[in-house]
Structure 1
Amino acid sequence: MALKEQLRSDMATAMKQGDTATRDVLRMLLAAVKQAEVDDQTTLDEAGVVNVLTKQAKQ
């Protein structure tokens, strides 16, 4: 399973379980990935997604 799909799946699980903290973090990460895709006008590959997640972890 690709990393973006795993993040989406984990977010759905967190929503079903009522885990708002995890849900909010995953939403933030997915938003950062989507913003990077819009900025670059391309679909990110696994390395690009990892790069975005690494940048978010540093913040």
Structure 2
Amino acid sequence: MSSNPSDDPTANLSEMAGMNLDNSLRKIVRFLDLSRCGDEVWIEYQGKLYRLQSTRQGKLVLTK
């Protein structure tokens, strides 16, 4: 774990999401763990297929 809190990508998740949830209620999954060897993940939700991809600029894009 980093000694600098600003280096921790999960440090401000509740603030970014605008929620005050107890940590025991959150499920945090890193995109790299989901995508394994690539830059995209396909998600099935309510019978529809969505693509979550990482851009070169470090952003995530969800498309239907």
TM-score between both structures, scaled by the size of structure 1: 0.29
Higher share in strand:
2
Which structure shows the higher helix fraction? 1
Larger Rg: 1 or 2? 2
